[in-house]
Amino acid sequence: MLQPPTTLNCKGKLLDLTTPIVMGILNITPDSFYDGGRYDHSDTILRQVEKMLSEGAEILDIGGMSSRPGAKLIDVETERSRVLPVIELILKHFPETIISVDTVRSKVAADSVKMGARMVNDISAGSIDDSMFSTVAALDCPYILMHMQGTPQSMQEKPHYEDIILEITDFFIRKIGELRALGLKDLIIDPGFGFGKEIHHNFRLLKYLDAFQILDCLILAGLSRKSFIYKTLNTSAKNALNGTIATQIIALQQGAKILRVHDVKEAKETIKIWQAVENE
């Protein structure tokens, strides 16, 4: 089996992923499923950024549009007006921060990188904006390629797979081929837990996550407080931290190198315990 890379070149800043790392989530949205509306002022944003960085987040993922089930696309200017001032604010106070922009729009991606972001996280894998692949290739920054069946508006309307692992692998092979042909070097794949998947689909993905290592890309696992966890536990997103940690341990065992999380301290501790076992 091919060995995935262990470094990411983030516009000149090298990230070492020999040990898995944490990406902290910062949603600048009024309607995200867990933290929507929490970070709508500069002081609350900076407090949360300081908290996540002090707890050990290596990357901050900034999103200006909700991707919860049923969410609608907002216009580009609204998204830009949410995201760009926050990137500027963060880098003014924490200039060494590696920022990822969570967007499906090539213009938002390009403007964010120009503002100082160093990575693009696209839940649509280029399917919403035809210019996304050529844009990120020209930007020469790491790109997170996520699988989603449908769109945020439609993805949970009876998603169906004959063989979810095979179908997502084929999806990634096609998309990775397109991006490599454009010259993009640093690619991260995200199987898209909760995006166009029934509860049992998500658990199957988690069980066989290591199958995607054949693609020779870093694997990101976005499991934090997802509905398949809290519905299985008959609880809520607010009370899904224990379930999240359990799934993160499994993801690490299956080769995940980046955990995308709301709870940085707990994720860092999860990695530390996992690593202690691995080192024995």
Question: What residues are labeled active site?
Answer: 226, 260
Single out the residue of 161, 153, 149, 145 nearest to residue 219, CA to CA: 145
Say how far apart CA 253 and CA 271 lie, in whole Å.
10
Single out the residue of 82, 81, 132, 78 nearest to residue 104, CA to CA: 132
Say how far apart CA 68 and CA 206 lie, in whole Å.
20
Report which secondary-structure segment, H or E, holds 47. Answer: helix 42-54
Say how far apart CA 267 and CA 259 lie, in whole Å.
7
User: What is the chain's percent helix, strand, coil content, to nearest 5?
Assistant: 45, 15, 40
Contact assessment for residue 158 and residue 201, using Cβ atoms and an 8 Å cutoff? no
Say how far apart CA 244 and CA 224 lie, in whole Å.
6
State the sign of the Cα–Cα–Cα–Cα dihedral 233, 237, 238, 244: positive
